[in-house]
């Protein structure tokens, strides 16, 4: 019997065998749903049986999972995202098991159709899409959809059924509906198995990081469409509604993305109004106001890209199904460069593909007279909007130099013979080939990248000075929010012995990162609380500054599931799923020796691209906010931090492999047995 | 799309047909009688004898964010389960249509001459004196014949058929909401209005102009005035 909030079934589609089956989702509830459940299924389907090396994300045996969380479709806010998991073609040098997620209405609709998720293995012999209408699941011919943009493909799937969605009630086998199917699809970038391909749902809800669009392409899978006419059962309907009201009253929302005047915002299903999307811009319709909205904005010294050109380009990146973050130009976020980085007057926070391409051109590494022809890109028109069109098309269709760019920034650099040197200066790719984003100086972000398998998007830590608050009081608020009450988790001392005692190399920082990974693995990636809104340790709209973490998460989940879980119980689910992931990484070849940052992080001034530079620092007697723009890492310190981290997690500090005791404590004995057979179980402490 | 007419087999539009509602009532009553279902007291309402509802749900489709929180909350407070199909308010969204056609809102208009009430053979669909004259369906009396659904003069119909329950339902302004911790109905709170983050839904007291849709889909930029 599934717990309320869960549909109880996970769809399992084998495209090679054209088989449609299902898994009992109750078996996976100890992993929390979403990414945690996907990790457990990946282990069962891909790792435990053995027989392959788990290196190539485009191998048909890779299992890609679209999963919901228990809150999707319940009317609770900020909680309806769809998790995407599987081996990722984007990460470098290994295609680690990875996660991404997207908003919109897909997860609620999947749940209303009676499914907690869809897991796809194998490879179809010709393009197909999976069509789900409640219980009825079919593989449909997608040959005529192949080549269509993400937007056209969705419209074509709607058109095919000749139903006037949203105009007339439609009678279905088990119900009736006025809604149109929710569709997640790939564009040409995914079809051509680029490593920079997104999954796109609606106009602009996308899962870009991880490159799962290419995994769909490798499976000949164009889309998954779902229409659900059922309901989501919850344990306590009154408490579900009341908890949303309690939360909204206690922590009123402020529109995080006000945008230009006259913009009418739109939201994901169930959202209380964070307003991440737009309804009425001429271009970028329903765009997420994040990376894609600024995708084509060229970096200084080029002149600023006009906003209408940026918005128009946002359409292109979404229609082609490109990972906006990885392929962007990221001009608006350029920072002055410190002396140790003799690059150019300023560098964008993300040294992504669009920027790096130009840098290589300017340095004469590619282009005329080199062995890397830049056609079809009109490099002389780099600052004109048309460039974005051609650039996007060349990558998505692997035309000319687009074929190299389609491999993503790090592999492009490798092909040009620029590694590892560029890791020291130009290329801010913190770990596994992912963009720096804002991962320094607030180092839990870059540590998280290193221990996980991608940029962890740790937007939720708001650490800068707060009006009317002493720094010491601020860190107390943060510490209370974690429910562990250690203010030194938030000490960003980075020089001298203090850095080792309570600062960025300390045991406290290791515990904080472990907490963050457990929190995110469960609450953000498995229960699928919106990444933009959770966690919330500090909240400027609350009278005492306290955020809604750790109160809101268990309150919402318990109202839906009827459990009596504490916040800590959720962290323990996260720890279980995180250890399951660790075991997958280890079976893919992860070892302590591999967990190394790119060279630039060790150079003085490495944090100059940080977003929030003023961080809490404890000088031995008092707390204060200190500008940490100069923060950089010491190799000895990072190695000490790693030892603390592995010990905190119950992993062998010599190898980073989980120890049997840790896995058994988490009821993962079979996982320990498999690791042992492979010679990859951590030695006992 | 509310206010658009639907043409039946005779070529007579539903709205024109509405003016001949007496015939429809006779048919409905006959059907009820034929099934041997006694008409309950509250259902015995005569054509033309309907007191106006004391509340109307109006909306601003230009302000709506398309979050569909109203839908999920509607089904939750009424049925104890969250659903889209069972919601009495329907938000239909096509992100590829240009603004403002990308979002359409469909709600019951609490018609002055409610054909759903008029034609219901059992009196399940009734005007509730206890609940501010709102037009509502008593589930225990509904036989699932869909007459109220066929009678709704609007496309798409605002009466909703809950397939899982085998019964029709409709917006009652939250009068009958066993899973709502507040008092609902025209004199109380409406879960959809309360949950809407965009100020796109509002309860008003006066009967909106009936000629077309503009009386219901209106500019709600100005704050509500207490009436
Ligand atoms: S709750 Fe408000 S904003 Fe959201 S769909 Fe309903 S009417 Fe629109």
CA A444 to chain centre: 16
B90 lines ligand 1 (CB under 6 A): no
Q: What is the structure's pLDDT at A141? A: 98
- A298 Cα to the center of ligand 1, angstroms: 36
Nearest CB to B76 within list A229, A240, A286: A240
Q: Which residues of A touch B144 (CB under 8 A)?
A: none
Please name the fold of domain A307-349+352-424.
Answer: 1.10.569
Closest residue of chain A to B199, computed from CA coordinates:
A273
Q: What is the structure's pLDDT at A278? A: 84
| Beta bridge mates, B77 | none
Q: What is the structure's pLDDT at A298? A: 85
pLDDT, tens digit (0-9, with 9 covering 90-100), for A464-516:
999 899 999 999 999 999 999 999 999 999 999 999 999 999 999 999 999 99
B45 lines ligand 1 (CB under 6 A): no
Q: In whole angstroms, how far apart are CA B14 and each of A412, B24, B170?
A: 64, 11, 19
CA A201 – CA A185 distance, rounded (Å): 6
B5 lines ligand 1 (CB under 6 A): no
How big, in percent rounded to 5, are the helix, strand and coil portions of chain A? 35, 15, 50
Ligand 1 nearest-atom number relative to CA B105: 7
CATH 1.10.569.10 location in chain A = 307-349+352-424
Does the pLDDT of residue A335 top 70, yes or no?
A: no
CA B222 – CA B200 distance, rounded (Å): 11
Closest residue of chain A to B83, computed from CA coordinates:
A231
Distance from CA of A532 to the nearest CA of B (A): 16
Does the pLDDT of residue A592 top 90, yes or no?
A: yes
- The contacts found for B46-52 with CB under 8 angstroms, 24 or more apart, are B47/B21, B47/B22, B47/B113, B47/B118, B48/B113, B50/B112, B50/B113, B50/B114, B50/B117, B50/B127, B50/B133, B51/B127, B51/B129, B51/B133, B52/B112, B52/B133, B52/B207
Burial class of residue B199 (count of CB atoms within 10 Å of its CB; 0-12, 13-18, 19+): middle
Q: In whole angstroms, how far apart are CA B107 and each of A63, A177, B61?
A: 43, 15, 11
Strands (E), A72-220: 82-87, 97-102, 117-121, 128-133, 136-141, 170-171, 176-177, 182-185, 199-201, 205-207
pLDDT, tens digit (0-9, with 9 covering 90-100), for A515-572:
999 999 999 999 999 988 899 999 998 989 999 999 999 999 999 999 999 999 999 9
Does the pLDDT of residue B43 top 80, yes or no?
A: no
pLDDT, tens digit (0-9, with 9 covering 90-100), for B161-216:
999 899 999 999 999 999 999 999 999 999 999 999 999 999 999 999 999 999 99
Closest residue of chain B to A80, computed from CA coordinates:
B67
pLDDT mean across residues, chain B: 82
Confidence band of B67 (pLDDT split at 50, 70, 90)? very high
CA A195 – CA A327 distance, rounded (Å): 10
Closest residue of chain B to A278, computed from CA coordinates:
B65
Ligand 1 nearest-atom number relative to CA B59: 7
Distance from CA of B15 to the nearest CA of A (A): 17
- Coil, strand or helix: which one is A205? strand
Which residue's CA is minimally distant from atom 4 of ligand 1?
B67
**Does A135 lie at the interface with B, CB-CB under 8 angstroms?**
no
Evaluate the CA torsion angle A407, A412, A416, A419 in order and state its sign.
Answer: negative
Higher-confidence residue: A191 or B25?
A191
- B74 Cα to the center of ligand 1, angstroms: 11
Which residue's CA is minimally distant from atom 1 of ligand 1?
B196
Ligand 1 nearest-atom number relative to CA B69: 1
φ and ψ at A128, to 5 degrees?
-135, 165
Cβ atoms within 10 Å of A19's Cβ, excluding its own: 12
pTM of the model: 0.93
Just give the CATH number of A9-227: 3.60.9.10
Higher-confidence residue: A678 or A310?
A678
DSSP character for A524? I
pLDDT mean across residues, chain A: 93
Which residue's CA is minimally distant from atom 8 of ligand 1?
B64
Average pLDDT of span A418-438: 92
Nearest CB to B85 within list A168, A176, A279: A176
Distance from CA of A609 to the nearest CA of B (A): 34
Please name the fold of domain B14-32+51-204.
Answer: Alpha-Beta Plaits (3.30.70)
Does the pLDDT of residue A383 top 80, yes or no?
A: yes
Q: What is the structure's pLDDT at A162? A: 66
Range A443-677 has CATH code 1.10.599: yes
CA A66 – CA A226 distance, rounded (Å): 12
Determine contact, residues A153/A190, Cβ cutoff 8 Å.
no
The answer to whether the Cβ–Cβ distance between A286 and B95 falls below 8 Å is: yes
- B64 Cα to the center of ligand 1, angstroms: 5
- B89 Cα to the center of ligand 1, angstroms: 10
Confidence band of A577 (pLDDT split at 50, 70, 90)? very high
Quick one: tokens of A608? 């100059």
Ligand 1 nearest-atom number relative to CA B73: 1
CA A292 – CA B131 distance, rounded (Å): 50
Q: Which residues of A touch B155 (CB under 8 A)?
A: 167-168
B58 lines ligand 1 (CB under 6 A): no
Confidence band of B39 (pLDDT split at 50, 70, 90)? very low
Q: What is the structure's pLDDT at B23? A: 32
Q: What is the structure's pLDDT at B48? A: 59
Does the pLDDT of residue A284 top 90, yes or no?
A: no
Confidence band of B26 (pLDDT split at 50, 70, 90)? very low
Confidence band of A398 (pLDDT split at 50, 70, 90)? very high
ipTM of the complex, rounded to two decimals? 0.94
Does the pLDDT of residue A118 top 50, yes or no?
A: yes
Determine contact, residues B172/B135, Cβ cutoff 8 Å.
yes
φ and ψ at B140, to 5 degrees?
-70, -15
Does the pLDDT of residue B34 top 60, yes or no?
A: no
Quick one: tokens of A596? 């190394």
The bridge status of strand A117-121 relative to strand A9-14 is parallel
Higher-confidence residue: A57 or A315?
A57
CA B6 – CA B8 distance, rounded (Å): 6
Cα Rg of chain A (Å, integer)? 24
Closest residue of chain A to B178, computed from CA coordinates:
A238
């Amino acid at each position: 019997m599934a717990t309320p909030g869960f549909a109880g079934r996970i769809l399992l589609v084998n495209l090679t065998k054209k088989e449609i089956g299902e898994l009992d989702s109750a078996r996976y509830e100890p992993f929390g749903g979403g990414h945690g459940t996907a990790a457990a299924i990946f282990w069962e389907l891909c790792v435990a049986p053995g027989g392959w090396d788990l290196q190539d994300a485009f191998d048909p045996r890779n299992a890609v999972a679209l999963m919901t969380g228990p809150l999707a479709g319940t009317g609770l806010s900020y909680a309806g995202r769809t998790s995407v998991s599987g081996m990722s073609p984007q990460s470098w040098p290994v295609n680690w098991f990875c996660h991404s997620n997207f908003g919109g209405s897909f997860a609620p609709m999947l749940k209303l159709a009676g499914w907690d998720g869809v897991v796809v293995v194998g490879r179809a012999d010709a393009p197909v899409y999976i069509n789900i209408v409640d219980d009825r699941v079919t593989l449909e011919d997608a040959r005529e959809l192949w080549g269509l943009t993400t937007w056209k493909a969705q419209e074509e799937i709607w058109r095919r059924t000749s139903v006037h969605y949203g105009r007339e009630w439609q009678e279905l086998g088990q119900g009736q509906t006025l809604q149109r199917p929710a569709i997640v699809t790939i564009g040409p970038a995914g079809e051509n198995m680029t490593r920079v391909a997104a999954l796109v749902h609606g106009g602009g809800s996308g899962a870009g990081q991880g490159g799962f669009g290419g995994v769909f392409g490798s499976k000949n899978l164009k889309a998954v469409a779902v229409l659900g006419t059922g309901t989501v059962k919850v344990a306590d309907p009154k408490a579900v509604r009341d908890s949303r009201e309690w939360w909204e009253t206690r922590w009123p929302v402020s529109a995080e993305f006000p945008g230009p005047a006259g913009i009418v915002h739109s939201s994901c299903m169930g959202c209380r109004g964070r307003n991440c999307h737009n309804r009425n811009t001429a271009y970028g319709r329903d765009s997420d106001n994040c990376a894609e909205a600024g995708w084509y904005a060229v970096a200084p010294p080029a002149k600023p890209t006009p906003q209408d050109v940026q918005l128009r380009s946002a359409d292109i990146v979404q229609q082609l199904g490109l990972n906006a973050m990885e392929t962007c130009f990221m001009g608006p976020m350029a920072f002055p460069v410190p002396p140790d980085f003799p690059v150019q007057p300023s560098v964008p926070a993300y040294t992504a593909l669009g920027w790096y391409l130009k840098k290589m051109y300017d340095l004469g590494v590619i282009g005329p007279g080199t062995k890397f022809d830049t056609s079809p890109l009109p490099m002389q028109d780099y600052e004109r909007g048309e460039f974005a069109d051609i650039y996007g098309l060349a990558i998505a269709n692997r035309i000319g130099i687009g074929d190299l760019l389609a491999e993503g920034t790090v592999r492009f650099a490798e092909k040009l013979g620029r590694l590892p040197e560029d890791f020291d200066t130009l290329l801010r790719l913190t770990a596994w080939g992912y963009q720096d984003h804002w991962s320094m100086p607030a180092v839990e972000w870059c540590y998280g990248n290193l221990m996980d398998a991608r940029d962890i998007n740790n937007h939720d830590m708001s650490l800068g000075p707060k009006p009317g608050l002493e720094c010491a009081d601020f860190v107390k608020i943060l510490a209370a929010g974690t429910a562990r009450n250690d203010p030194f988790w938030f000490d960003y001392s980075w020089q001298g012995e203090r850095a080792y005692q309570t600062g960025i190399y300390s045991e406290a920082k290791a515990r904080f990162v472990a907490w963050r990974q457990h929190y995110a693995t469960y609450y953000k990636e498995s229960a699928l609380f919106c990444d933009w809104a959770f966690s919330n340790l500090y909240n400027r709209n609350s009278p005492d500054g306290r955020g809604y973490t750790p109160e809101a998460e268990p309150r919402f989940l318990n109202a839906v599931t009827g459990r009596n879980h504490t916040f800590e119980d959720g962290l323990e689910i996260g720890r279980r799923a995180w250890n399951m992931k660790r075991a997958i990484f280890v079976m893919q070849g992860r070892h302590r020796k591999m967990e190394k940052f790119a060279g630039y992080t060790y150079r003085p001034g490495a944090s100059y691209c940080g977003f929030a530079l003023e961080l809490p620092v404890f000088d031995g007697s008092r707390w204060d906010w200190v500008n940490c723009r100069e923060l950089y890492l010491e190799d000895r310190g990072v190695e000490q931090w790693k030892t603390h981290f592995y010990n905190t997690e119950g992993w062998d500090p010599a190898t980073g492999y989980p120890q049997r005791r840790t896995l058994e404590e988490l009821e993962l004995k079979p996982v320990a047995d498999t690791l042992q057979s492979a010679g990859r179980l951590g030695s006992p402490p | 799309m509310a206010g658009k007419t639907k043409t039946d087999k005779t070529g007579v539009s539903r709205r024109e047909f509405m003016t001949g509602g007496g015939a429809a009532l006779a048919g409905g009553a006959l059907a009820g009688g034929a099934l041997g279902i006694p008409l309950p007291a509250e259902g015995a309402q005569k054509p033309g004898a309907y007191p106006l509802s004391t509340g109307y749900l109006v909306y601003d489709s230009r302000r709506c964010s398309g979050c569909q929180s109203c839908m999920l909350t509607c089904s939750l407070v009424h049925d104890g389960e969250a659903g889209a199909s069972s919601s009495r308010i329907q938000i239909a969204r096509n992100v590829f249509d240009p603004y403002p056609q990308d979002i359409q809102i469909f709600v019951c208009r609490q018609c002055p001459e409610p054909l759903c009430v008029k034609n219901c053979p059992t009196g399940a669909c009734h005007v509730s004196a206890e609940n501010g004259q709102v037009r509502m369906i008593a589930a225990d009396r509904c036989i699932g014949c869909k007459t109220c659904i066929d009678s709704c003069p609007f496309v798409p119909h605002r009466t909703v058929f809950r397939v899982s329950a085998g019964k029709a339902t409709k917006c009652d302004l939250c009068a009958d909401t066993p899973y709502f911790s507040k008092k609902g109905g025209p004199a109380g709170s409406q879960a959809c209005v309360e949950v809407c983050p965009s100020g796109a839904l509002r309860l008003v007291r006066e009967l909106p102009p009936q000629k077309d849709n503009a009386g219901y889909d209106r500019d709600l930029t100005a704050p509500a005035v207490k009436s």
